């Protein structure tokens, strides 16, 4: 019995190590294809149920992201450092919700299409901590490029920025957030995000 337990623990360790050491493009492939395949296999999601699609993004895609880093960069180092822990928590929760819904809305357009993906191996030198994975979404003869900026963490490669239609999400939101902070401070930005999410939920 002890021998089998040791073998099981060894296998689990090897499996966990392999996951942590997965290449950046493999991590993106697992996150994207896993989410899309789950969406296509679920009758409610395939029928356009946005709550269901959003839930699938939360469970299938978000584990491969570091949206806390996304939030810190978008808010800006100075503003983030002056925010209280509770304010930082609210900013992260509201911004992650916005990002998840944005990505879910994008994926929902693929639910009834015959779609394939191409993931380009990222040129990642040994010891690199940051890279960009280029992907192609191929559907109905169209080829749309989506890039994922990745960071290497103790838990493997994580997505923290996405380039859709030629614009990096962090850059887009940095300008909006700076305006809101200038007008109403951190609380003003939290209010802006909360109200935006409330409207999009309705």
Instruction: Provide the residue ranges of all domains of the chain, joining segments of one domain with +.
Output: 23-201
What confidence score (pLDDT) does residue 1 get?
41
Alpha-carbon span 109 to 96, nearest angstrom: 21
| Cβ(75)–Cβ(170) below 8 Å | no
What pLDDT score was predicted for residue 40?
93
Q: 2 exposed, middle or buried (CB, 10 Å; 0-12, 13-18, 19+)?
A: exposed
Q: Tell me the CB-side half-sphere exposure of residue 116, using CA atoms within 13 A.
A: 3
pLDDT at 8 over 50: no
Over 60: is that where the pLDDT of 148 sits?
yes
Lowest-confidence segment of 17-26, 130-139, 141-150 by average pLDDT: 17-26
Q: Which residue has the higher pLDDT, 12 or 116?
A: 116
- Please tell me the predicted confidence (pLDDT) of residue 202: 61
Whole-angstrom distance, CA of residue 133 vs CA of residue 40: 24
- With contact defined as beta carbons under 8 Å apart, do 148 and 120 qualify? no
pLDDT at residue 193 tops 80: yes
Q: Is pLDDT at 106 greater than 50 in this prediction? A: yes
Q: What is the pLDDT of residue 111?
A: 86
* Residue 14, pLDDT above cutoff 70: no
pLDDT greater than 90 at residue 5: no
Q: Say what the pLDDT of residue 16 is.
A: 41
**For the domain bounded by 23-201, which CATH number is listed?**
3.10.450.710
Contact call for residues 122 and 136 (beta carbons, < 8 A): no
80-105: average pLDDT: 97
pLDDT band at 6 (very low <50, low <70, confident <90, very high): very low
**pTM of the full predicted structure?**
0.85
């Amino acid at each position: 019995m002890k021998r089998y337990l040791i073998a099981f623990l060894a296998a689990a360790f090897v499996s966990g190590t392999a996951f942590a050491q997965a290449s950046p493009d493999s991590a993106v492939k697992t996150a994207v294809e896993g989410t899309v395949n789950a969406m296509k296999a679920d009758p409610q999601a395939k029928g356009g149920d946005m709550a269901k699609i959003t839930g699938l993004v939360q469970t299938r895609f978000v584990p491969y992201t570091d949206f806390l880093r996304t939030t810190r960069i978008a808010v800006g180092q100075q503003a983030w450092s002056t925010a209280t822990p509770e304010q930082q928590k609210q900013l992260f929760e509201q911004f992650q919700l916005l990002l998840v819904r944005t990505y879910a809305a994008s994926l929902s357009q693929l639910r009834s299409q015959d779609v394939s993906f191409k993931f380009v191996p990222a040129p990642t030198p040994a010891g690199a901590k940051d890279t960009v994975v280029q992907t192609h979404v191929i559907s109905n003869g169209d080829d749309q490029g989506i890039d994922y900026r990745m960071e290497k963490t103790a838990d493997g490669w994580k997505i923290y920025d996405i380039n859709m239609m030629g614009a990096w999400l962090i850059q887009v939101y940095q300008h909006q957030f700076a305006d809101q902070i200038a007008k109403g401070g951190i609380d003003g930005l939290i209010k802006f995000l909360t109200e935006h999410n409330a409207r999009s939920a309705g």
